[in-house]
Amino acid sequence: MEIPYSERTRVLTVIGTRPEAIKMIPVIRALQDSGKFRPVVIATGQHMELVADLIHRSGLRLDANLRASDAQNGVKPTLNEMFARIMVGIDRVWASQTVPAEYRADGRREVGGAVACLVHGDTSSAAAAALAAFNLQIPVIHVEAGLRTSNLLSPFPEEGNRQLISRIAALHLAPTSANKANLVREGVDYDRVLVTGNTSIDMLRWAAAEANGFGPGLADLVVAPDRPIVLVTAHRRENWGAGLDRIAAAVRRLSERYPRAQFVVPLHPNPVARGPLIATLEDRPNVMLVEPREYLAFAQLMGAARLIITDSGGVQEEAPALGTPVLVARDTTERSEGVDAGTLTLVGTDPDRIVAEAAILLEDDAEHARRAARPNPYGDGRASERIVQALDHILRAGGTPEELTGCELRDAVRRRLGLAPDELGDGSAALLDAGSRA
């Protein structure tokens, strides 16, 4: 008999940015569809409009909006102010048992009794929520764990955020075996890390079935072999200033060299990120500067592109699944598996290097085909299924995740929480107690 929704095991799921929403929606949907879990969906407000649109288009609902990025007296919060607001918001939502009125999103929903907090990746929202959950003694489960550049300042603040989360997480859900190896080298118990694949590939499977056009402003975009599409995205904090200027200069040179190519440049909402691109590219007739694409349209653009120039982490994972080569406009990347597999080429922000590598992919059909055919190292579209299997194994004493045998994962996580296996019997009572202590 299916467990009534109100009685299912509650799991907090925290989302800040649009990329987090893209990667967490498959997990939330899988939790909900499992018949065993009730996800409590909390948006921090970091990219609120984009997150809310994605959640609702996916047929899900938000429980709370912490409004951590709301301006006060016309001034946007600093990173530290946003961090503090998220931690206070998690505190208040947790203590109230139901979502307080000022945070309520889609109706009055109970929160109390959640046994774990899922955070994703490396954003300030994820780090703040993880630290808040840790302080409340709620077990932290880190989705997309183990990515590393090993340089705390590159990217900033993401590398610091993910290392912080790794120190306090009870369970690490790593996209690849290389990510797992990173964590083990840092001293994380081997049996507390599960390789799942990346949930972005799960989301692509849904997007491929739902996509319908490239979105507003691109009615004139032509999909034809003699009119290649070059998709360009650039927004990361590490590239603000000179880095974005150099990327924009490279795209301008390419647009002049290849007048038949179509350069599509979705602009980030942040004026600091979009300003250099507009200033350098707005007069080029074959450059289309457009507002951010909703996810389905962007997925279709990635699939139609001849190549992508980007500093986005998510694009580095998703584009190879669509057979689109990627030039990574960063000095470092935490997604080294793609570089090793040949699906990604690290070019930095040097215009000469960007132009040279793009020219190869635009002119050499054989080389383009070779890179496009490389297998995607980021998974098979079943990451969310494995994540729910792991949570069922740990929180509900369910079946063993396919990567492991026996009870190694469950016992290792419980030891991390200071709970002996014989305390737990065959259920999750002790974890429920651990998760509800304040």
Q: What is the pLDDT along the chain (438 residues), one digit of tens a residue?
A: 456 666 678 899 999 998 899 999 999 999 999 999 999 999 999 888 888 888 988 889 899 999 999 998 889 999 999 999 999 999 888 877 667 777 777 655 666 668 899 999 999 999 999 999 999 999 999 999 999 999 999 889 999 999 999 999 999 999 999 999 999 999 999 989 999 999 999 998 778 667 678 888 898 898 899 999 999 999 988 899 999 999 999 999 999 999 999 999 999 988 899 999 999 999 999 999 999 988 888 999 999 999 999 999 889 988 998 899 999 999 989 888 899 999 999 999 999 999 999 999 999 999 999 999 998 888 888 999 999 999 998 887 666 666 644 456 667 666 776 665 554 433 344 443 433 333
Which residues, 6+ apart, have CB-to-CB distance to 283 below 8 Å? none
DSSP assignment, residue 34? T
Q: What is the pLDDT of residue 100?
A: 73
The one-letter code for the residue type at 171 is L
- 199 and 23 in contact (C-beta within 8 Å)? yes
| Cross-strand bridge partners of residue 181 | none
The token duo for 290 is: 């457009």
Alpha-helical runs (H) found in 58-109? 79-96
CATH number for 214-372 (one of 3.40.50.2000, 3.30.1340.30, 3.40.50.300, 1.10.1060.10): it is: 3.40.50.2000
| 214-372 matches 5-197+382-436 in CATH topology | yes
Q: Residue 42 has what pLDDT?
A: 95
pLDDT at site 427: 36
Half-sphere exposure of 259 (CA within 13 A, CB side): 1
SS3 category, 307: strand
Alpha-helical regions (H) of 309-350: 313-321, 336-341
Cβ neighbours for 285, distance < 8 A, ≥ 6 positions apart: none
Strand, helix or coil for residue 342: coil
Per-domain boundaries in the chain = 5-197+382-436, 214-372
Correct CATH for 5-197+382-436 of 3.30.43.10, 3.40.50.2000, 3.90.1310.10, 3.20.20.70: 3.40.50.2000
Cβ atoms < 10 Å from Cβ of 404: 16
Measured CA to CA, the distance from residue 68 to residue 83 in angstroms comes to 8
pTM, two decimals, is 0.76
Residues serving a catalytic function are 122, 144, 158, 235, 237, 268
Q: Determine the residue type at 325.
A: P
Strand order in the sheet with 344-346: 287-290, 262-266, 229-233, 307-310, 326-328, 344-346
Q: What is the bridge-based pairing of β-strands 171-174 and 262-266? A: unpaired
